């Protein structure tokens, strides 16, 4: 029988409480093992040689002198990672990004790697590898890359999504379009039209733990990989595909992960470590430096976005359009497309059109960053909506309420919405005391909304009832922020036992079936669904065992509050059997008791948030302080509310950093100028106020407990909320993220004409 | 019968039709019939498709049933953080 | 290069080790002594994930040479609990959900301990500026500050 995922209202005993997390003690005592905290006997140290050029043809690589260094055991180049991708463009991009083949496509692109007995020997060898580069013209700016005279990154790229197909190569990999209605007719009905262009700079996920792994290829064709990742099953597939290994022979164990936020969703250096291990015949440990993390992993797109919104005087939006240009790094992807889909997703629009352009530039390959692409689109759209409210003379929240999407609305990206939470978050914002609190001198208030899709995906769990009645829960989604606590609560709820009796672990790839990674806000949503299903399967086994114990028909055994009950009056003397009772007898009733679940958790349910923000801008320095911040978001059902709040607060803080400070700075030579935490400044403790949260619970109809993903949406509104607050504080519309002090000062100077 | 809307990039592969009416009771049947009708859709469908049925996004569960008259969107399979 | 012999005190234990002249205290702790609680987030003193306490002062152990540990007293995360009894900061970090991924947690705990050893009743602002050298990307710091406040209250013998 397939699992019924439909929401059923119920009173919860465990879900919604805030117990201590099971991995807490390990993490406060320094015992938790992250990517770099694992070693193997005889392991070598790996270091990667990276291109100093933004764009260069690799004419020749000579490793002879480097190989002669004492202690060097293996050196690899692209020749040691032959192309096995078989026409899969996405996989080829990952391969080429791991190790440049014909061209170095950005400053920091890997061109060779060394494994040696220690760091000293590895570094010495790196210095002796001779690479003959033919330096090519480069382009890093999104708008410049679209100019007809821009240097072309890839002569084989012809813009797709346009008719007729272009005859000349281009840095625009793809054009996408969404919308419905007739925007020209809609704009004709408008009394007021706001039209403005925006830019956002490239930000990095900024996880504190650099990428790290230990790879060990054995002579018998088996291999082990210890790695920090958001998805060890996906890493296994990536590595097996790129190295030509059999999936079952590569065992991947996910370490504790020190942050990912999308940046650890595909491989970067792991195939390199495996290839070095294969060549050297010894385990290899590869840990990126912080500089390498910035230069060669992660970042999100830099963007350039034009928005046009028209409305009647009564506040009804009649038409909206946006053109979004997103950098992709050197490989075409769908980042602008995601921006084009999400831009107007909060609103009920009769006429809407968005166009996205994927733009190739000589910057690192873009990877997902928490609700990828949505924050920049929301920045542009929500800024324009704010300006529209001012032009009409309407309250910014009221204007949004009047135009908010609701159940039955055709979304701007196509489908019609089911029950959604944008309206309730706006109503909660309107009623929130933050909205009416007085503001001080040089202060401004802003608010903004955000949307993200949320995913489910392939998931499985094993739930073992041990002989003492305690439960081991093995899940396959990496725990990025407390999901072992949440999933233990789910198992406790479903089985009717204490949270303390559950031990949740993340299984490796050899001990559990395939799981998609922890991305798309799916970890708790999907694995909780699989956990509920596994628990229900275990309960079925326990009912059978109780029936055997009592020697009564199965249909007379009911499960209630963690006990098997003999139903009806005829078994009046039979005391209910607890999980512990049934487990104790399991050896004589058929052996071990377990529940398993393999399913596809689809129907994650879209997510909305509204944020409110107060800032204070120093007119002398252009420096901005966030003085108050409130997050309102729909969680469907908050399983462990502390960690839901944590997701809201963490996403807001990342958005604040992006809005005010974080930015990749490139020199004219195309080299990254600030690959370190000193100059790429993420928010520190003294930069932020407490971040207030309000959790709304509008049940997701497609989850038994009503759970929705909560991880990503919280980063979508902050860029716009802060931009609106700053704009209101200084009286100038801020259209370029980050709003660093120099940008604010120059805006102030433009205003005063000085 | 369900009404299927294609994302813009697929339209040229389906005789320039943006929406199609297809007789299908599950996502799997729908995708199979689309491939039969328009062989050009085969690669995109196999590699990068998500299916939205009455507003709910399906990325993997091709057994999901399509209610009569369902409104179906083909979207590209999305990335998440 | 010739190794240097170093005698030092770590978590109240006498410890001797050999290290290279250019080797950091962080590398010594992690690679030679098996004390992996201190993490390397940057190697340039910007993230605080490797915070330890040397002679009562918080240091980034990636900016201290192993050889500088000679004759000093060093406290690391591995010595924060008293046997199986957690330090109040450790308990409060768990109770207040002050960690998500937890990679920054050892550094925060050591920095916060140094603060409370010096100033048992810090204001929120004092906590925020003291901890400004420790980066956390997950939490937005809200729950970290509250956990430190709660630990301070408990350590002063007051009820929360």
Total number of domains constituting chain A: 3
Q: Is there a domain that residue B28 lies in?
A: yes
Instruction: Summarize the confidence of residues A460-464 as an average pLDDT.
Output: 97
Mean pLDDT of chain A: 96
* Residue A272 CB burial class (10 angstroms; 0-12, 13-18, ≥19): buried
- Domain at B35, CATH number: 3.10.20.30
User: Within chain C, which residue ranges are assigned CATH 3.10.20.30?
Assistant: 4-77
Say yes or no: A507 and A371 in one domain.
no
Taking only Cα atoms into account, the Rg of chain B, rounded to an integer number of angstroms, comes to 11
Instruction: Summarize the confidence of residues A701-716 as an average pLDDT.
Output: 95
Q: How do residues B36-81 score in pLDDT, each as one tens digit?
A: 999 999 988 887 889 999 888 888 889 889 999 889 999 888 877 8
- Judged against a pLDDT cut of 80, whether residue A437 lies above it is answered with yes
Q: Are A378 and A720 in contact (CB under 8 A)?
A: yes
Q: Would you state the pLDDT for residue C160? A: 58
Q: Is there a domain that residue A226 lies in?
A: yes
Place of tokens 């000085």: A754
**Using a CB-CB distance cutoff of 8 angstroms, which residues of chain A are in contact with residue B56?**
418, 602-603, 605, 702
Q: From the CB of residue A679, how many other CB atoms can be counted at a distance below 10 Å?
A: 13
Q: How far is A650 from chain C (nearest CA, A)?
A: 4
pLDDT band at A1 (very low <50, low <70, confident <90, very high): very low
Q: Is there a domain that residue A253 lies in?
A: yes
Residue A381's domain comprises 303-454+605-752
Q: Are A229 and A268 in contact (CB under 8 A)?
A: no
Say yes or no: A324 and A240 in one domain.
no
Measured between CB atoms, does B59 come within 8 Å of chain A?
Answer: yes
Q: Are A708 and A594 in contact (CB under 8 A)?
A: no
Helical H segments across A506-640, by residue range: 523-550, 579-584, 586-589
- Judged against a pLDDT cut of 90, whether residue C1 lies above it is answered with no
| Tokens, residue A678 | 């000193």
Q: Which CATH number fits domain C88-155: 1.10.150.120, 3.40.50.2300, 3.90.420.10, 1.20.1510.10?
A: 1.10.150.120
Instruction: Summarize the confidence of residues A482-505 as an average pLDDT.
Output: 97
CA separation (Å) from A665 to A88, A228, A586?
A: 32, 27, 63
Rounded to the nearest 5°, which phi and psi values hold at C18? -105, 140
| Tokens, residue A696 | 């709304």
Q: From the CB of residue A134, how many other CB atoms can be counted at a distance below 10 Å?
A: 12
**CATH class in words for C4-77:** alpha beta
Place of tokens 């400044």: A681
Cβ-defined contact of A685 to C132 (cutoff 8 Å): yes
CA distance A478 to A459: 11
List all residues 6 or more positions away from B43 whose beta carbon is below 8 Å from its beta carbon.
none
Say yes or no: A461 and A443 in one domain.
no
- Domain at A270, CATH number: 3.90.1170.50
Q: From the CB of residue A619, how many other CB atoms can be counted at a distance below 10 Å?
A: 14
Rounded to the nearest 5°, which phi and psi values hold at A274? -65, -40
Q: How far is A208 from chain C (nearest CA, A)?
A: 5
Instruction: Summarize the confidence of residues A181-196 as an average pLDDT.
Output: 98
Total number of domains constituting chain B: 1
Say yes or no: A288 and A347 in one domain.
no
CA distance A391 to A195: 12
Q: How do residues A241-271 score in pLDDT, each as one tens digit?
A: 999 999 999 999 999 999 999 999 999 999 9
ipTM score of complex: 0.98
Say yes or no: A619 and A642 in one domain.
yes
Q: From the CB of residue A154, how many other CB atoms can be counted at a distance below 10 Å?
A: 16
Among A601, A626, A656, residue at a domain's last position: A601
Say yes or no: A414 and A463 in one domain.
no
* Residue B68 CB burial class (10 angstroms; 0-12, 13-18, ≥19): exposed
Angle at A738 between CA A737 and CA A742, to 5 degrees: 115
Say yes or no: A288 and A309 in one domain.
no
Say yes or no: A351 and A393 in one domain.
yes
Instruction: Summarize the confidence of residues A91-113 as an average pLDDT.
Output: 97
Say yes or no: A338 and A431 in one domain.
yes
Q: How do residues C3-13 score in pLDDT, each as one tens digit?
A: 999 999 999 99
Helical H segments across chain B, by residue range: 27-37, 42-48
Among A556, A571, A601, residue at a domain's last position: A601
Asked whether at least 3 C-beta pairs link C and B within 8 Å, the reply is: no
Q: Is there a domain that residue A374 lies in?
A: yes
List all residues 6 or more positions away from A368 whose beta carbon is below 8 Å from its beta carbon.
A262, A263, A265, A519, B79, B80, B81
Q: Are A331 and A367 in contact (CB under 8 A)?
A: no
| Tokens, residue A635 | 């969680």
- Domain at A746, CATH number: 3.30.365.10
Q: Would you state the pLDDT for residue C158? A: 83
Beta bridge partners of A303: A200, A326
Measured between CB atoms, does A261 come within 8 Å of chain B?
Answer: yes
Q: Is there a domain that residue A149 lies in?
A: no
Q: Is there a domain that residue A176 lies in?
A: no
Closest CA to A397 of A326, A449, A338, A341: A449
Q: Is C16 helix (H, G, I), strand (E, B) or coil?
A: strand
Q: From the CB of residue A314, how many other CB atoms can be counted at a distance below 10 Å?
A: 9
Say yes or no: A447 and A482 in one domain.
no
What spatial distance separates the first Cα and last Cα of chain A, rounded to whole Å? 73
Nearest CB to A160; choose among B7, B9, B54 = B9
**Using a CB-CB distance cutoff of 8 angstroms, which residues of chain A are in contact with residue B80?**
262, 265, 368, 371-372, 453-455, 519-522, 712
Say yes or no: A738 and A626 in one domain.
yes
pTM given for the model: 0.96
Q: Would you state the pLDDT for residue A597? A: 97
CA distance C43 to C62: 5
Q: How do residues A673-699 score in pLDDT, each as one tens digit?
A: 999 999 999 999 999 999 999 999 999
Q: Is there a domain that residue A199 lies in?
A: no
* Region for A601 from its dihedrals, namely left if φ exceeds 0, alpha if ψ lies in -120 to 50, beta otherwise: beta
Q: Is there a domain that residue B51 lies in?
A: yes
**Using a CB-CB distance cutoff of 8 angstroms, which residues of chain C are in contact with residue A678?**
44, 46
Q: How do residues A573-606 score in pLDDT, each as one tens digit?
A: 899 999 999 999 999 999 999 999 999 998 888 8
Q: Are A422 and A346 in contact (CB under 8 A)?
A: yes
pLDDT band at A572 (very low <50, low <70, confident <90, very high): confident
Say yes or no: A590 and A639 in one domain.
no
| Dihedral Cα C17, C20, C24, C26, nearest 10 deg | -40
Residue B53's domain comprises 2-76
Instruction: Summarize the confidence of residues A383-404 as an average pLDDT.
Output: 98
pLDDT band at A754 (very low <50, low <70, confident <90, very high): low
């Amino acid at each position: 029988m397939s699992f019924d995922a439909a929401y059923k209202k119920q009173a919860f005993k465990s879900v919604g409480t805030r117990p201590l997390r099971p991995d807490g003690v390990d993490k406060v005592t320094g015992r938790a093992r992250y990517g770099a905290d694992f070693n193997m006997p005889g392991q070598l140290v790996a270091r990667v040689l990276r291109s100093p050029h933004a764009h260069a043809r690799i004419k020749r690589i000579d490793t002879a002198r480097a190989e002669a260094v004492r202690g060097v055991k293996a050196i690899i180049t692209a020749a040691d990672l032959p192309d096995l991708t078989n026409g899969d463009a996405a996989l080829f991009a990952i391969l080429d990004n791991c190790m440049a083949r014909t061209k170095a496509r950005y400053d920091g692109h890997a061109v060779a790697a060394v494994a040696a007995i220690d760091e000293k020997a590895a570094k010495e060898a790196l210095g002796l590898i001779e690479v003959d580069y033919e330096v090519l013209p480069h382009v890093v700016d999104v708008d410049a890359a679209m100019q007809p005279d821009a240097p072309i990154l890839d002569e084989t790229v012809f813009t797709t999504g346009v008719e007729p197909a272009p005859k000349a190569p281009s840095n625009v990999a793809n054009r996408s379009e969404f919308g419905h209605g007739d925007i020209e007719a809609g704009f004709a009905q408008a009394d007021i039209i706001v039209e403005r262009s925006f830019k956002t700079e490239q930000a990095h996920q900024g996880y504190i733990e650099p990428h790290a792994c230990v790879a060990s290829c054995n002579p018998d064709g088996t291999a082990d990989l210890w790695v920090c990742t958001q998805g060890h099953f996906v890493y296994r597939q990536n590595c097996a595909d790129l190295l030509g290994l059999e999936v079952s022979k590569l065992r991947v164990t996910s370490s504790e992960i020190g942050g990912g936020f999308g940046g650890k969703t595909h491989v970067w250096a792991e195939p390199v470590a495996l290839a070095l291990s294969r060549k050297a015949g010894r385990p290899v440990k590869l840990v990126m430096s912080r500089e390498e993390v910035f230069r060669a992993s992660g970042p999100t797109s830099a963007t350039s976005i034009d928005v046009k919104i028209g409305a009647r005087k009564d506040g009804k939006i009649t038409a909206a359009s946006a053109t979004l240009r997103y950098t992709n790094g050197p490989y075409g992807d769908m980042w602008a497309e995601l921006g084009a889909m999400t831009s107007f997703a909060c609103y009920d629009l009769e006429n809407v059109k968005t166009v996205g352009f994927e733009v190739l530039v000589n910057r690192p390959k873009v990877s997902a960053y928490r609700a990828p692409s949505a924050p920049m689109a929301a920045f542009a759209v929500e800024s324009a909506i704010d300006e529209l409210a001012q032009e009409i003379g309407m309250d910014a929240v009221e204007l949004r309420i009047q135009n908010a999407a609701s159940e039955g609305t055709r979304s701007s990206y196509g489908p019609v919405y089911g029950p959604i939470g944008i309206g309730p978050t706006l109503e909660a914002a309107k009623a929130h005391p933050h909205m009416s609190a007085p503001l001080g001198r040089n202060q401004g208030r802003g608010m903004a909304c955000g949307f993200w899709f949320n995913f489910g995906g392939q998931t499985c769990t094993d739930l073992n009832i041990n002989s003492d009645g305690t439960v081991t829960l093995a899940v396959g989604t990496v725990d990025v922020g407390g999901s072992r606590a949440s999933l233990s609560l789910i198992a406790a709820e479903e089985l009717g036992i204490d949270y303390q009796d559950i031990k949740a672990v993340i299984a490796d790839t050899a001990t559990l079936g395939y799981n998609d990674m922890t991305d798309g806000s799916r970890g708790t949503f999907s694995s909780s669904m699989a956990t509920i299903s596994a628990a229900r399967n275990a309960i079925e086994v326990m009912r059978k065992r109780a029936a055997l114990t009592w020697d009564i028909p199965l249909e007379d055994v009911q499960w209630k509050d963690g006990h098997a009950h003999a139903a009806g009056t005829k078994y009046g003397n039979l005391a209910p059997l607890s999980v512990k009772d049934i487990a104790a007898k399991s050896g004589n009733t058929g052996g071990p008791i377990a529940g398993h679940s393999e399913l596809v958790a689809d129907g994650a349910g879209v997510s909305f948030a509204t944020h409110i923000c107060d800032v204070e801008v120093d007119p002398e320095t252009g420096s901005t302080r966030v003085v108050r911040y409130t997050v309102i978001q729909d969680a469907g059902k908050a399983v462990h509310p502390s960690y839901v709040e944590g997701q809201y607060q963490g996403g807001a803080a990342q958005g604040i950093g992006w809005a005010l400070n974080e930015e990749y700075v490139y020199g004219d030579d195309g080299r990254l100028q600030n690959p370190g935490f000193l100059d790429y400044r993420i928010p520190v403790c003294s930069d932020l106020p407490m971040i207030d949260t309000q959790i709304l619970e509008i049940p997701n109809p497609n989850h038994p407990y009503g759970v929705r993903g909560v991880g990503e949406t919280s980063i979508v509104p902050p860029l716009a909320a802060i931009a609106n607050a700053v704009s209101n504080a200084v009286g100038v519309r801020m259209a370029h993220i980050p709003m660093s002090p120099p940008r604010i000062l120059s805006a102030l100077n433009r205003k005063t004409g000085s | 019968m369900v009404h299927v809307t294609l994302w813009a990039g697929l339209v040229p592969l389906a005789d320039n039709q943006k929406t199609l009416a297809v007789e299908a009771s599950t996502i799997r049947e729908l995708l199979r019939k689309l491939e039969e009708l328009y062989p050009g859709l085969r690669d995109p469908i196999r590699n990068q498709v998500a299916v939205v049925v009455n507003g709910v996004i399906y990325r993997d569960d091709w057994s999901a049933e399509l209610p009569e008259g369902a409104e179906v969107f083909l979207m590209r399979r999305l990335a998440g953080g | 290069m010739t190794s240097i012999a170093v005698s030092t005190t770590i978590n109240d234990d006498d410890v001797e080790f050999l290290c290279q002249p250019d080797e950091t205290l962080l590398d010594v702790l992690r690679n030679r002594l098996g004390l992996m609680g201190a993490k390397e987030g940057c190697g340039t003193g910007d993230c605080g994930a490797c915070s330890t306490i040397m002679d009562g002062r918080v240091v980034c152990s990636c900016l201290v040479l192993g050889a500088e540990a000679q004759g000093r007293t060093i406290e690391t995360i591995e010595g924060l609990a008293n046997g199986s009894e957690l330090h109040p900061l450790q308990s409060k970090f768990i109770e207040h959900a002050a960690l998500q991924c937890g990679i920054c947690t050892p550094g925060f705990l050591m920095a916060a301990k140094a603060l409370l050893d010096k100033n048992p009743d810090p204001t929120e602002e004092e906590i925020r500026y003291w901890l400004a050298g420790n980066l956390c990307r997950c939490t937005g710091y809200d729950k970290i500050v509250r956990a430190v406040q709660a630990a301070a209250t408990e350590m002063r013998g007051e009820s929360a």
